Amino acid sequence: MKLIRRSWQGALALLLCLAALPLLPLLGPDAATAAGNGVTVLIFALIVGAALVSFARLSAPILAAILFVGVYAAAWLLIGLLSGNEGHATSAFFPLIAASWLMAWRCVSALSAVETRSATTEALLRLLIPAIFGAWILILWEAVTRGAGVPFILLPPPSAIGERLASSVPILWADVRQTIFKAVLFGYIVGCAAGFVTAILADRIAFLRRGLLPIGNLASALPIVGVAPIMVMWFGFDWQSKAAVVIIMTFFPMLVNTVAGLSASGIMERDLMRSYASDYWQTLVKLRLPAAMPFIFNALKINSTLALIGAIVAEFFGTPIVGMGFRISTEIGRMNVDMVWAEIAVAALAGSVFYGLVSLGERITTFWHPSNRS
Amino acid sequence: MGTAREMPVNETASSVVSARRLGLTFETNDGPVHALSDVDLEVKRGDFVSFIGPSGCGKTTFLRVIADLEKATSGEITVNGMTPEEARKSRSYGYVFQAPALYPWRTIEKNVALPLEIMGYSKADRDGRIQRTLELVNLSGFGKKYPWQLSGGMQQRASIARALAFDADLLLMDEPFGALDEIVRDHLNEQLLKLWARTEKTICFVTHSIPEAVYLSTRIVVMSPRPGRVTDIIESTLPRERPLDIRETPEFLAIAHRVREGLRAGHSYEE
């Protein structure tokens, strides 16, 4: 066995360090504080050290641990240099950020290669790898916006967004309550339930099936932006008009999916029910609805994101002085871009939690489906 | 469709299925297809009747007419002295399909419980029946498994248990072992005979395998295609007790030969 292995990320990182050397110092001449020689040497040492270690034939967990520590220390020092010196990073700064990002890549690929039989380690790895990945998106975002001095209005650094998020928790919470717990949740439940019940009625009554479904497809193409102001006219400025928009948005995906799901059971399975002289409702509850569950959950997942979009967009057209859509539209007008981003982050988080809960419900309910079997 | 009133009393007593000049024509875009034509047949209580013939001979269609999954277009048929529809509504038969058709969201136990739930058996009665029928098909201990965790042969046995769980004394089986390999099929054939002896059910069994038909049946109905009709009905002379190696006896081979002759007479080998 050879003692070294190939590591193109390591090689490229070394080249980038080499390229950065003639471009030193790390901060421009008119920066408030100069980059100390000690810090610069330490950053180089960390990155070059990590790159060299990545060539060594070490076991994957040890390699990953060393890279993890080295890479984050380097990134921490690099971003630390920027405080007070925004926009003064020289072209030596960015090759070093890129080099440490490459080493983080190496770290993730070392972690991905770890083979484990323990379930907890497996679960830990499943969380750790995307966490490192996500952290690096934020680090690169932070380094680029602050290093190159991107105007705050265009793109604030994540640290500023985080600060704004932490300092306006009460406002954000009020917005979440108004938009998600009132408009989205009410509209989602009523819209999905109405779609489901209508699907069952359409299945039972041929007149509805032939008349309503084609019209349903037409109505599902309604542009939401056009409907929202009308709903505000009808149901007033408060959350009820937003819930109405959400109901309209979620109704048809549920209707169409449930109708498709109800015909998903096989001919043989239906013949079986017929041979038992099973009545309509028994067949529905014991065969057709369970078989339709994957379709119904598909609609629930689509609707979980549609509902959030619908409620936020509908708030652009008139709302009391609270709500996520209201906050986004007013704060952008006041140039408080960090607040807009904080609101976006909260919406993304809420949407992910919502989607995650529905997916969890799906895994529990349709464990038998070939795509979920364990 | 015939009614019980038209049948002589002594015949309905022992006759489970009785067909007179039964015909079924499917109307298709390419014109009428005569799936069954002039089928006359009596199935007596306790019989094991096999239907054999090439594909398209109407053997499955005939079984589906008995089960009221298809309607005959001419002639008469009674099942337990009733029309097929009445017989289906009074739950007088269990049907085993070509595939197990178990519901993947139910455990084996719950799959066997399905007809019992629909027919309104009590919880205690259901539990007893599930245990008994699973024992009957040698699946005790697999009740908590899901269908997709079992092999094909075990799944088909579970579907037989499901058809046996309620009180129907007629069992209709449509090529139940057609999709299984020969070793599993031999084993299941042997088990089916034992089960038939223990439960004293009347069995109508569709197959396209000559050895399977001869090994299992008390009567073999040979059918031929276009239009689907009965060409020969063979009474088996084999004893009711049949070990697997009976299939090498001259008596067995003679019956198999007669089945083959019947198929040839119906032009089943021509193409």
| Token couple for B131 | 């245990």
Domain boundary among A150, A175, A207: A150
Confidence of residue A128 (pLDDT cuts 50, 70, 90): confident
Burial B88-127 (b: 16+ CB within 10 A, else e): beebbbbbbbbbbbbbbbbbbbbbbbbbbbbbebeeeebe
Q: Does A373 sit within 8 Å of B118, measured CB to CB?
A: no
Average pLDDT, chain A: 87
Least confident of A68-72, A215-219, B27-31, B34-38: A215-219
CATH classification of the domain holding A331: 1.10.3720.10
Indicate whether A2 belongs to any domain.
no
A371 lies within 8 A of chain B by CB: no
Indicate whether A370 belongs to any domain.
no
Evaluate if residue B11 carries a pLDDT over 70.
Answer: no
Indicate whether A371 belongs to any domain.
no
Same domain, A106 and A175: no
Which of A272, A297, A374 should one mutate to test binding to chain B, selecting the residue with the greatest count of B CBs within 10 A?
A: A272
| Token couple for B271 | 């193409």
Domain ranges of chain B: 1-92+206-271
Q: What is the pLDDT of residue B267?
A: 67
B91 lies within 8 A of chain A by CB: yes
Q: What is the pLDDT of residue A3?
A: 63
Q: Does B148 sit within 8 Å of A286, measured CB to CB?
A: no
Least confident of A235-239, A264-268, B87-91, B240-244: B240-244
Evaluate if residue B2 carries a pLDDT over 70.
Answer: no
Q: Which residues of B touch A293 (CB under 8 A)?
A: 105
Q: Which residues of A touch B148 (CB under 8 A)?
A: 368, 370, 373
Evaluate if residue A80 carries a pLDDT over 60.
Answer: yes
Q: What is the pLDDT of residue A167?
A: 92
Least confident of A113-122, A127-136, B1-10, B167-176: B1-10
Q: What is the pLDDT of residue A358?
A: 93
Q: What is the pLDDT of residue B1?
A: 40
Q: Which three-class secondary structure state does DSSP give residue A89? A: strand
Q: Chain B residue with minimal CA distance to A373?
A: B148
- Dump pLDDT digits (tens) for B127-179: 998 998 888 888 888 989 999 999 888 898 899 889 888 888 888 999 888 87
Same domain, A193 and A297: yes
Rounded Cα gap, residues A21 and B122, in angstroms: 84
A347–chain B nearest CA distance, Å: 35
Q: Does B105 sit within 8 Å of A276, measured CB to CB?
A: no
Q: Does A275 sit within 8 Å of B95, measured CB to CB?
A: yes
Q: What is the pLDDT of residue A355?
A: 93
Q: What is the pLDDT of residue B239?
A: 81
- One CATH from 3.30.70.890, 1.25.40.340, 3.40.50.300, 2.160.10.10 for B1-92+206-271: 3.40.50.300
Number of domains in chain A: 2
Residue A236 Ramachandran class (φ > 0 left, ψ -120 to 50 alpha, else beta): left
Which of A274, A276, A281, A295 should one mutate to test binding to chain B, selecting the residue with the greatest count of B CBs within 10 A?
A: A276
Main-chain dihedrals φ then ψ at residue B75, nearest 5 degrees? 80, -175
Domain that holds residue A21: 8-150
Evaluate if residue B7 carries a pLDDT over 50.
Answer: no
Average pLDDT score over residue span A200-221: 82
- Dump pLDDT digits (tens) for A20-47: 888 878 787 777 777 778 888 888 888 8
Indicate whether A160 belongs to any domain.
no
- Dump pLDDT digits (tens) for A240-298: 899 999 998 899 889 989 998 998 888 899 999 988 988 899 999 999 999 999 999 99
A372 lies within 8 A of chain B by CB: no
Type and span of the H or E element at A206: helix A206-219
Indicate whether A347 belongs to any domain.
yes
Same domain, A215 and A138: no
Same domain, A176 and A271: yes
Same domain, A177 and A74: no
Same domain, A204 and A331: yes
B242–chain A nearest CA distance, Å: 31
Complex confidence, ipTM = 0.85
Evaluate if residue B266 carries a pLDDT over 80.
Answer: no
Q: Does A272 sit within 8 Å of B97, measured CB to CB?
A: yes
B167 lies within 8 A of chain A by CB: no
Q: Which residues of B touch A273 (CB under 8 A)?
A: 118
Q: Does A277 sit within 8 Å of B88, measured CB to CB?
A: yes
Q: Which residues of A touch B67 (CB under 8 A)?
A: 275
Q: What is the pLDDT of residue B4?
A: 42
Least confident of A198-212, B39-53, B56-70, B229-243: B229-243
Q: Does B91 sit within 8 Å of A269, measured CB to CB?
A: no
Nearest to A373 among B91, B117, B148 (CB): B148
B196 lies within 8 A of chain A by CB: no
Same domain, A116 and A217: no
Average pLDDT, chain B: 84
Q: Chain A, 117-176: which have a CB under 8 Å from a chain B CB?
A: none
B91–chain A nearest CA distance, Å: 6
DSSP letters spanning chain B: ---GGGS-HHHHHHEEEEEEEEEEEEEETTEEEEEEEEEEEEEETT-EEEEE-STTSSHHHHHHHHTTSS--SEEEEEETTB-HHHHHHTT-EEEE-SS----TTS-HHHHHHHHHHHTT--HHHHHHHHHHHHHHTT-TT-TTS-GGGS-HHHHHHHHHHHHHSSS-SEEEEESTTTTS-HHHHHHHHHHHHHHHHHH--EEEEEES-HHHHHHH-SEEEEEETTTTEEEEEEE--S-S---GGGGGSHHHHHHHHHHHHHHHHTTTT--
Nearest to A275 among B88, B90, B148 (CB): B88
Average pLDDT score over residue span A61-77: 87
